[in-house]
Structure 1
Amino acid sequence: MPDHIPDGRAEFAGRIALVTGAAQGIGAAVATALAAEGAHVVATDRAAPGDAPGVTENGGTVTGRAMDVTDRSSVDTTVDWIERELGPLDVLVNVAGILRPGPAAELGDQDWADTFAVNTTGVFHTCRAVAPHLTARGAGAIVTVGSNAAGVPRSGMAAYAASKAAAAMFTKCLGLELAGSGVRCNVVAPGSTDTPMQRALWTDDTAPARVIAGDLDTYRTGIPLRRIAEPRDIADAVVFLASDRARHITMQELYVDGGATLR
């Protein structure tokens, strides 16, 4: 094992992590993965996530709590509660996100506003609440789950892509500002992943095969690895970037999309 991880000790033993959008999909997978490595995870969503696992063999656990990332007071209250009742936060993972598909020139004002409220302003709210605690202690990690759509134009996904691009750049700028305090900020950019959000786009049983093959009519490449990601594939990347193994990595954007963006 790396020399900065004591032998026999889980990577996140004794650490506290806040995960947003943890009721399902990638967020739930991240919460489970961090807990498996010994973290005490506060898993949040608009409704408190249920079915939280008990204490893991490494001593990790998950506490579900309701939090609305679009509501500054909800975020501030949750962060204050964690610091007061559980202990110092070490990790923030921004996963909460929504998708309102549609042609760019036909998007409604509310769809645009709602998308940015969750995907972008939500990241701003959580980072602003957590960052002062991390910088005061001179350590910590923030990981924002973005999307490969933030780096490659997608038909019918203008609001989603723009909001994720904004969140990614905000996270990198924050990383630059916090680097001197020893706090790292990175982005994980998934491609097509088997989540409720992805499945909502599928119209029949052949949809997964079409995603893998790509669609020239919409200028969308397929997936070179010939598979759709599972949430745990994204969670593994998040856990790595939040861990001490990535202690010299900050302001980076890691694409986890099976090569779909040809980067």
Structure 2
Amino acid sequence: MNETLQLFNLSGRRALITGSGRGIGLALARGLADAGAAVVINDRNQQKASTIAASLRDEGFDADSAIFDVTDRVQVSEAINAFEERIGAIDILVNNAGIQRRAPLETFSAADWNDLLRVNLDGAFHVSQAVARHMLARGHGKIINLCSVQGELARPGIAPYAATKGAIRMLTKGMCAEWASRGIQANALAPGYFATDLNRALVDDPAFSDWLCKRTPAGRWGRVEELCGAAVFLASRASDFVNGQTLFVDGGLTSVV
């Protein structure tokens, strides 16, 4: 492998991907594993995470699992500390865990608002803080926060979700401001519209799909595996001087009117 391609090689690195029991998280875990990383599958359900990790091992990948709820600060800290002591260092963190709630802003419930904040924003904060403490002690680490085109563009019915993703963009910049000089690169990966369970209601809506394909220069929904190249870049030595940035993978959606 030549020197440039070697920059993207993740062999010898371990990546924790939160919410990786399905969808984008699972696709990213598989993509990072394919680039050589040992991956850590995270889910609240122990059997689900263990089964996925075992399946990846059967495919020849190095995979473990870490069971915790990203919204539980104490549980997160204890799980991360135990994993680092029992298995080894987490070199790459992908904050992927997230939920969606849809309703008009004037009728949006306080419960749904709080759920979005707890999972999408608090969760990224709790896990980043727990993992970064170990990264800072070692003097290196990569953090990738899953953002969204909704961190840049608003759409009716999901204003609170967009608010959490806008906050993730600024949290990423804050991580850069605080930790860049101490060896951590923190960046955000912002998917456009991808066909996942989270977007099932939209994927199944012919009118929305027609609008989206006309609105997106690429003319289609994204495929989850198309996020893997960007994730490998942000997780690898190739991005060692990239910090605090948001990389949009959206088929050109945020570049046109």
Give the whole-Å Cα distance in 1 for the aligned partners of 2:6 and 2:27.
Answer: 25
Give the whole-Å Cα distance in 2 for the aligned partners of 1:33 and 1:27.
Answer: 10
Unaligned runs of 5+ in 1: 214-221
Q: 2:245 aligns with which of 226, 239, 252?
A: 252
Give the whole-Å Cα distance in 2 for the aligned partners of 1:153 and 1:107.
Answer: 16
**TM alignment of 1:124-203, pairs within 5 A:** 124-203=125-204
How big is the shift at 1:33? 1.0
Moved more, 26-35 or 36-45: 36-45
Alignment: residue pair count? 252
Contact 1:212/1:226 (CA < 8 Å) preserved in 2? yes
How big is the shift at 1:55? 3.6
Q: Give TM-score, length-normalised by structure 1.
A: 0.89
Partner residue in 1 for 2:81: 80
Partner residue in 2 for 1:3: 3
User: More helix by proportion, 1 or 2?
Assistant: 2
Give the whole-Å Cα distance in 1 for the aligned partners of 2:99 and 2:77.
Answer: 21
Partner-residue secondary structure (3-state), 1:22: coil
**TM alignment of 1:205-216, pairs within 5 A:** 207-213=208-214
Partner residue in 2 for 1:41: 39
Partner-residue secondary structure (3-state), 1:193: coil
1:169 maps to a residue whose letter is: M
Give the whole-Å Cα distance in 1 for the aligned partners of 2:33 and 2:206.
Answer: 34
Give the whole-Å Cα distance in 1 for the aligned partners of 2:58 and 2:206.
Answer: 36
Partner residue in 1 for 2:30: 32
The reply on whether 1:261 has 2:219 as its aligned counterpart is no
- CA deviations on 1:185-226 (whole Å, 9 max, x unpaired) are 00011110011011133444565333212xxxxxxxx11111
Give the whole-Å Cα distance in 1 for the aligned partners of 2:70 and 2:2.
Answer: 35
Q: 1:2 to 1:188 in 2, by over 3 A?
A: farther
Contact 2:21/2:52 (CA < 8 Å) preserved in 1? no
Give the whole-Å Cα distance in 2 for the aligned partners of 1:4 and 1:97.
Answer: 34
Contact 2:212/2:220 (CA < 8 Å) preserved in 1? no
How big is the shift at 1:73? 1.7
Contact 2:172/2:245 (CA < 8 Å) preserved in 1? no
Partner-residue secondary structure (3-state), 2:254: coil
Partner residue in 2 for 1:98: 99
Partner-residue secondary structure (3-state), 2:248: strand
1:235 maps to a residue whose letter is: C
Partner residue in 2 for 1:17: 15
- CA deviations on 1:109-131 (whole Å, 9 max, x unpaired) are 00000001000000000111011
Percent identical pairs in the alignment equals 38
Contact 1:47/1:65 (CA < 8 Å) preserved in 2? no
Give the whole-Å Cα distance in 2 for the aligned partners of 1:225 and 1:11.
Answer: 29
Give the whole-Å Cα distance in 2 for the aligned partners of 1:127 and 1:204.
Answer: 36
Give the whole-Å Cα distance in 1 for the aligned partners of 2:211 and 2:239.
Answer: 35
Partner-residue secondary structure (3-state), 1:159: helix
Partner residue in 1 for 2:229: 236
Q: 1:131 to 1:2 in 2, by over 3 A?
A: farther
Unaligned runs of 5+ in 2: none
- CA deviations on 1:141-174 (whole Å, 9 max, x unpaired) are 0000110101111111111000111112112111
